[in-house]
Amino acid sequence: MRTTERPSTGGSDGTEEARRLYVEFDLSASGTVACPLEEVGPNADRIDRQSANGECHTEATRKPDDETAGTTETEVRHTKAEITPECYCPIFFEYDCIPKVTEVTDEGVVIRTYLPDRDRLSALIEDLGDVTESLSLRKLTRIDSVEGDQSNRITLDLSTLTETEQETAAMAVASGYYETPRATSVGELAAELDITKSAMSQRLNSVESKLALAAFQ
C-alpha cells in the first residue's frame, strides 16, 4: 500500500511551476491489471490516452504488420478500461505530471514526463514501484537556465545501468552534481543515501564508465 506523502503543488489556484527534469520511464503494469496501453502492441504508431469518469480511454494508430505487408492502410483502435488502484497512469497525475506514452514494447511501455525537482522524482518512483511489474529509468535530462534565453542541458541515457546505478545517476544529475560549478558534492550525495563517501565515489565512477562506453558504441 502506498503511503508516500506527496508534495503540495498548488493545483487549482492557477499557479505555475518550472519543470527542470525530463524523465523517460520503461515500465509494465502489474499482473493484476490489463493495461490498454500495453495491449495496443509494439507496432502502434501513435497513442493518445484520456481518462474520464473512472475509465481509461486509449486510441492507437497501428501500422500494418507483417501479415498485411504490401498495404498502406492503417488501423485506428479504441480501447476502454476501468481505472483501478493498480493502474500507474493516475499516479503521475497525483504528482501534477502529464504522462506521455512514446513507445510500446514487447515488455511494456515507455512514458515520458517533466518534474520540478529530484524530491518529487524520488517519490514518484517509489509509488510507481508499488503498482508496476517492472520499472526503470531510461533517460534523464536536467534543464537549467543560464542567461537570457540560453539553457544548460545535461542528459543521461540510463538504459545500460543497474537499478542502483540508475538511482545514483538520477540523484547526481537532479542535485546538480554535473553542473559547472557543482551544486553539490560527493559527500553530500553520500549522506543522502547513508553510505560512505568512498562508496558513493565508486558508484559514480561505475556510472560514468558505463555511460562513457555507451556513448562511443
Q: How many residues does the chain have?
A: 217
Q: Residue 200: which of 161, 174, 167, 162 has the closest Cα? A: 167
Q: Is residue 92 part of a domain?
A: yes
Q: What is the pLDDT of residue 69?
A: 53
| Residue 209 is assigned to a structural domain of this protein | no
Does residue 84 fall inside a structural domain? yes
For residues 60 and 100, the answer to whether their CB atoms sit within 8 Å is no
**167 within some domain:** no
User: How many other β-carbons are positioned within 10 Å of the β-carbon of residue 119?
Assistant: 11
| Structural domain count, the chain | 1
Look at the block and give the residue holding cell 560514468. Answer: 208
Render each residue's pLDDT in the chain as its tens digit; 217 residues.
Answer: 343 444 444 444 667 788 888 999 989 888 777 787 777 766 777 788 888 888 888 888 876 665 555 556 778 888 888 888 889 999 999 998 999 988 888 788 899 999 988 788 888 988 998 889 888 888 888 877 655 555 667 777 788 888 888 888 888 888 888 877 888 999 999 998 899 999 999 999 888 888 776 655 4
pLDDT the model gives residue 35: 82
Q: What domain range is 154 assigned to?
A: 21-159
Look at residue 104 and tell me if it is in a domain: yes
Three-class DSSP category at 36:
helix
Enter the DSSP assignment of 27. Answer: E
Assess if residue 47 is contained within a domain. yes
